Amino acid sequence: MYRKQSAKMVNHLRKRGITDEQVLTAMESTPRHKFVAAGMEFQAYEEKALPIGFGQTISHPYTVALMSQVLQVQKGQRIMEIGTGSGYQAAVLCRMGAQVFTIEKNTSLSRLAEKRLKSMNCHFVIRTGDGSLGWQSYAPFDAIIVTAGAPVVPRNLLQQVKEGGRLLIPVGTAASQELTLFVKDEQSSFRKIIIENLNFVPLKGVDGWSEEV
């Protein structure tokens, strides 16, 4: 079921420039239709962000693929995700062999995502809370991925990346952000690379936007 749609999605990702076979294989084998709201399964493999309730969305397949590719995930690496949402991005990273530590602010979404991820049989830890502060007890991480748009780069996230590690975060206004990669060197300095402009829902919290945005 959905095998044809999933293969078509991966072909589309190749055409859009995704070349990392590990990402493409993980996305082809992750059942995206199980991460969308009931009744939306038939749209799950289309190049769309879909509502998942509570005003939130599951990101476009291209966004998930691009972010997974830019992270350069190696098997066994510890990756923290801020903004679990549906759990799909976390599931893809798990399928790529990462140990995933994921934080979601919304309790209902967090519970639903936990259930889905458990059924994927992968290595993950999930917490409900404000991910703009990171997760000090599990730091440092090989990579951190933020799947919501931030007004500034949260200081705690920069600190919680390993030397040689990567922080991938959309930064900008509430309406539009630059997906930005920070690579930490051995002297704890960062090289900043702008990947492209994308639109994410806002990162709320102490080091994010206020609840009113």
Residues that bind ligand SAM (CB under 6 A): 56-59, 82-83, 85-86, 88-89, 103-106, 109, 130-132, 147-148, 200-201, 203-205, 208
The candidate with the shortest Cα–Cα distance to 146, out of 178, 187, 123, 98, is 178
- Least distance from ligand SAM to the Cβ atom of residue 43, Å: 14
The candidate with the shortest Cα–Cα distance to 103, out of 85, 116, 121, 91, is 85
CB nearer to ligand SAM: pick between 188 and 197: 197
- Least distance from ligand SAM to the Cβ atom of residue 202, Å: 7
CB nearer to ligand SAM: pick between 51 and 164: 51
| Residue 132 designated active-site | no
Helix (H) or strand (E) holding 3: helix 3-15
- Is the CB of residue 27 less than 8 Å from the CB of residue 14? no
CB nearer to ligand SAM: pick between 82 and 120: 82
Taking each continuous run of H as one helix and of E as one strand, the counts in the chain are 6, 9
Question: Which residue intervals of 16-172 are DSSP H helices?
Answer: 21-29, 61-71, 88-95, 107-120, 155-159
- Least distance from ligand SAM to the Cβ atom of residue 194, Å: 20
Q: Of 6, 29, 59, 86, which is the active-site residue?
A: 59
Which residues are catalytic, by number? Answer: 59
